A and B are shown apart, each in its own frame.
Chain A
């Protein structure tokens, strides 16, 4: 029983990272139908931001606290720039967008190699996050608890912005009926760019979180991008609620299967479960039915 609980907690913390990455993807995929293969490199950008900061601020705690907002801004700015330079010109050509952003992804990886070197680097975790808390036989690693809290905070923040601010109203309006939003006076192109900024920024935050549990390298983003897309598709495109449930479910399933089998078999098991689920609900857990302007 304790084993299952321990594995579940590990799964939940994996799910938390997936969730941070998938939040941004589901926003941009849901609003613009864009499959952004470079999303993983925004994770990397967030992680290297933490690394650079720690070199200049020696205190691990302080640099982590500064890294969170800064990584959001750095990755967000990269996303907005990508949208402005390339993606907005390709909205009617989703397959081209996929290829172009994949190319951008490779270029960004190479850029990271040139600047930071090919080998992985590491940051030191603050003392506060290196220990464990034990309760009822279950061990909670502090760094994983922190990541879980961070993910939930981001979900809460995003939900509040979407539900209660003028910007959130505009984003929801564009998702539901883009043409009607445009003729209602909303600069939809500008809303797209801001959405891209927020979505990419959240990937940057995910990158900061990943520095607490693993090494930083040029290809770290690619390890997560496929899983994050699975979360988006299973949860229902553009659905925060769906992304939250799916991210945690996939994380727990993965880590429980991993314990009883091997990593590869667990991966296969998760994929089979997803395929079976999508046969039953091709549209994902939740859907948003939209009407477009005829």
Chain B
């Protein structure tokens, strides 16, 4: 589905990724794990096009999208939920979703589907996103990504900094989506347990390099924990 090959990327004079290759299976979940500063978010930003790689390629279903702008990747079926529960703070919840649905013939149904997954957002539709709690904002962020009906979803630490009661809800929704079919996920996570439950394939990232990779599933959890503790 998504294929990053030998990607080198970073900021001005500080390279972050030193030749990373990651592949997301069709209709499957690939998890990227690693400590803070290992380059996980940089990897997602490069996959989405916010950051242009110095070398290496990004392929989506075989098409070279390395040079495409982020919004062009969205129109090819990619969606991205960045770190930190980001929203458009001065737009209402409803406007945050409508914004993404504008110009899509299936926009209305897509919004309705996303709201079915996160019913709490219906009650908050008139409230400005900046006034929502962290958990609600993150649900809005995932819902906004889903309104584009993506084939590939990039999630950057979707449960980080969120109250525990909502964490379980978001995790369950992500698992349900991944299992429903038609959606591939590239998941960046700190919670090894959840990541390994969700993933068919895992990558451990350390100082900008993949140091360990293998098949996902709960049985790999121990191997990943060891790789991370080194």
Residues of chain A whose beta carbon lies under 8 Å from any beta carbon of chain B: 166, 169-170, 172-173, 176-177, 179-189, 288-291, 293-294
- Minimal Cβ-Cβ distance residue in A for B75: A185
Q: How far is the CB of B79 from chain A (nearest CB, A)?
A: 8
- Minimal Cβ-Cβ distance residue in A for B44: A183
> Can you list 8 contacts pairing A with B, beta carbon distance less than 8 Å?
A166-B103, A170-B102, A176-B91, A179-B50, A184-B100, A187-B69, A188-B71, A293-B50
Expressed in whole angstroms, the Cα–Cα distance for A172 and B41 within the complex equals 26
Hey, which chain A residues are within 8 Å of B49, CB to CB? 183
Expressed in whole angstroms, the Cα–Cα distance for A76 and B72 within the complex equals 26
Q: Does B223 sit at the interface, judged by CB under 8 A? A: no
- Decide: A186 near B91, CB < 8 A? Known: A173-B99, A293-B82: no
Most chain-A CB neighbours within 10 Å: which of B70, B98, B148?
B70
- Minimal Cβ-Cβ distance residue in A for B90: A176
- Asked if A186 and B71 sit within 8 Å, CB to CB, the answer is yes
- Minimal Cβ-Cβ distance residue in B for A186: B71
Mask for B71-101, Cβ within 8 A of A = 1, else 0? 1001100001011101111110001001110
Expressed in whole angstroms, the Cα–Cα distance for A184 and B84 within the complex equals 15
- Asked if A294 and B88 sit within 8 Å, CB to CB, the answer is no
Q: How far is the CB of B125 from chain A (nearest CB, A)?
A: 14
Contact of B89 among A185, A188, A189, A289 (CB under 8 A): A289
- Decide: A294 near B103, CB < 8 A? Known: A173-B91, A185-B148: no
Q: How large is the interface on B (under 10, 10 to 19, 20 to 34, 35 or more residues)?
A: 20 to 34
- Decide: A183 near B88, CB < 8 A? Known: A166-B102, A188-B71: no
**Known contacts A185-B75, A289-B89, A293-B82; can you find 20 more A-B pairs with CB under 8 A?**
A166-B102, A172-B90, A176-B90, A177-B88, A179-B50, A180-B82, A180-B86, A180-B87, A182-B50, A183-B70, A183-B71, A183-B82, A184-B100, A185-B71, A185-B148, A187-B71, A288-B90, A291-B86, A291-B89, A293-B86
5 closest Cβ contacts across the A-B interface?
A185-B74, A166-B102, A182-B70, A183-B70, A183-B80
- Asked if A294 and B74 sit within 8 Å, CB to CB, the answer is no
- Asked if A169 and B144 sit within 8 Å, CB to CB, the answer is no
- Minimal Cβ-Cβ distance residue in B for A184: B100
- Asked if B71 and A177 sit within 8 Å, CB to CB, the answer is no
Q: Does B48 sit at the interface, judged by CB under 8 A? A: yes
Expressed in whole angstroms, the Cα–Cα distance for A294 and B83 within the complex equals 8
- Decide: A169 near B74, CB < 8 A? Known: A177-B86, A184-B99, A186-B99: no
Expressed in whole angstroms, the Cα–Cα distance for A182 and B100 within the complex equals 11
Q: How far is the CB of A89 from chain B (nearest CB, A)?
A: 15
Hey, which chain A residues are within 8 Å of B148, CB to CB? 184-185
- Asked if B99 and A169 sit within 8 Å, CB to CB, the answer is yes
Expressed in whole angstroms, the Cα–Cα distance for A181 and B102 within the complex equals 13
- Asked if B71 and A180 sit within 8 Å, CB to CB, the answer is no
Expressed in whole angstroms, the Cα–Cα distance for A241 and B41 within the complex equals 38
Restricting to B126-150, which residues have a CB under 8 Å from any CB of A?
Answer: 144-145, 148
Hey, which chain A residues are within 8 Å of B98, CB to CB? 169
Expressed in whole angstroms, the Cα–Cα distance for A293 and B80 within the complex equals 12
Mask for B185-216, Cβ within 8 A of A = 1, else 0? 00000000000000000000000000000000
Mask for B139-163, Cβ within 8 A of A = 1, else 0? 0000011001000000000000000
Hey, which chain A residues are within 8 Å of B102, CB to CB? 166, 169-170
